[in-house]
Structure 1
Amino acid sequence: MRKITIKLLKTLPTKYVTTGVILILILFAYGIIGSYFIMDLNLIDSIYYAVITMATVGYGDYTPRTGIQKIFATTLALGGVALLAYVFNVILSNFQEKMGEYSRGAMKMKTIEHMDDYYILCGYGRVGKVVFEELTRRNQNVILFEKNEELLEEIEDTSSVVTIAKDATEDDMIAKLAGNKCRSVIISTGDDVTNLFIVLTIRESNPDAWIVSRASKEENYSRLRKAGADKIVSPELIGGKDLYIESTKPHILKITVRHSIDEIYDEFKIISKYGCNLENIQYHIPGIATPLTRKINTMDIEDGKDFTKYLEDNPDQKAAIENLYSMVNNTHSHIISGPDRATFQKLVDELRENIEIVGINLTKKEIANLTKKNLK
């Protein structure tokens, strides 16, 4: 307890205490000067009289007699009481505050000790807030590091959420917590240098920790990778891709079809013919709302030829795809981007002549109900 008390006293904010000490020194100087000129005392006796009057001891060996002397002694005594009370009050108040912070910190550590596992999230800014909401929505345990205490005011600490108002780059606590019970460390601050330093801090003592870091600039990918980040994500770059996708939504078409593996190339020829791009293919497994998605991103007819030849030369791979088609009852969707709606209409008309089109721009729910019926 003695060590804790000393540590707390050392961490008290000095600005208030310093101000109080300066005011006491000013009052002390006032007491000495006043004692010398008003009380007609020598220098030593002036210092002595100023001290006992400010401390309200008043031994009575020097008694003010004139009016001005009495006013001086009164102001000196009242000033001494007020200033000493102020300094002690500041020290006591801040000591109590630090004791409260220490107590809350102990409670937070106790909560963390009782967590079976958890995620560490560094940064509660624009990106970190989204990550935090995703984690809590999935009922995950989260330890959140954020140096801006104002941002943490909206979050309530619970048995599954612990907030730590500290800069992760200035404290080794994050390295201690990124041990065996930590599922993943997610670093989401907007400063790549800060992210890099946090990665280095964690990796130095936790070689097996899984670290996912945000990168604002693409040129910092390699630096974060060398520092020890397992995954690097750039919301800025992803956001740019999302903007592109959103801008092309009027020219994005989802065609749900039903056909065998032998008709893949014929379908691809039609898509390529109209200058459209096959973005991805979604395989709809019966009873599962979220499809199995395979990115394609091609409009080159040569890619279709190469894929067909690959299946011919690799019968095992062809059999694997046939099994996939069989599992989804040959029902899958193509996400296609194109130049305009008129082109889409021509594309759909020609596809109808060659393969079975189940629907256009069907929702997940509509496709899920469709695959259930096929399953029966």
Structure 2
Amino acid sequence: MTKESQQFSTLRRFWVFFVSVALLILSGTFGYMSIEHMTPLDALYMTIITVATVGFHEVHPLSDPGKIFTMALIVSGTGLFFFTLTNVAVFLLSGEWRSHWEQQKNERMLRKLNDHFIICGYGRLGGSVAEELRVKAIPFVVIDNMIDNVLRARDEGFLAIKGNAADESVLSDAGLHRAKGLIAAAGNDAENVFIVLTARNLKPSLYIVARADCDESESKLRRAGAEKVVMLYRSAGKRMANLLTDPELEEYLDELSDAGNLNLRIAQYLVSEKSPLVGKSFQEVDLYNNHRINVVGYKLPGGELHTTPRPAEIIQKNGTIIVIGQGGDLEMLSQLALGEEKK
């Protein structure tokens, strides 16, 4: 059952009650006016005290047809009461109220998301990505077509919706047009290709990273619109080889990439045109001595990467500085790169 049909079913259950009560009162009022020739107010009064079964005295003695009509009205009112009571009990005991409440809460939170990431698929890879983003306090939403995975994500405190991430309406519900990026981490390469195609078509400027299990899928995902493709087995192979040949280096890199390590991190910053760094050399800004930050790379605006930028190299606008440093120092560099240095 879709989200819309679930909401319609819940609302319909209560609208049926209100409409039935209104029709019963209208029927009773017109019935007394027709059978007993009562005024509209007297007829409405008789209908209310009859349906409510409060036992007040009639407006005037009823005729035999009036008594039969009153009995029918009492039976109808009692039946409606037990019908409503049964539906309310089912609604509460089945846990449907909790599901409905969580759905409404999810929708409110989704409407507030902006510059967030969308994780498509909450398997082992999607779960790891979600945990990293949570530690870094980066907003995100999970999409998965398995209800068990959605509930597991919600139990972890993540915002998650059920649906096919290759469906335009599901991506729209996840706030794709306000999103900063998307991670296609579904269980198979074909599904990831469809997800990337749909997302790229909906938002051409979206930054997309996709997983792939085989080499053939890498080129397909890039043609579909993925900026980066992560080959899981290739990455795992490189890491295992590094563990064998350079275990200390691999441990150091793990420390840098660990989102939980707040003392030392590796990060990159795009230099805006209003940054005071623009036009200065790395030797002039001297990030190490002034901010205790090590520069490990510099990417030119055209995309060329210098892994060891020379001290005399000039920092250009729209260039990207890759650094290693501590949290507070990196925050200072972030403000410098944006041209928002604290005074």
TM range (shorter): 0.3 to 0.5
Larger Rg: 1
What is the TM-score of this pair, normalised by structure 2? 0.46
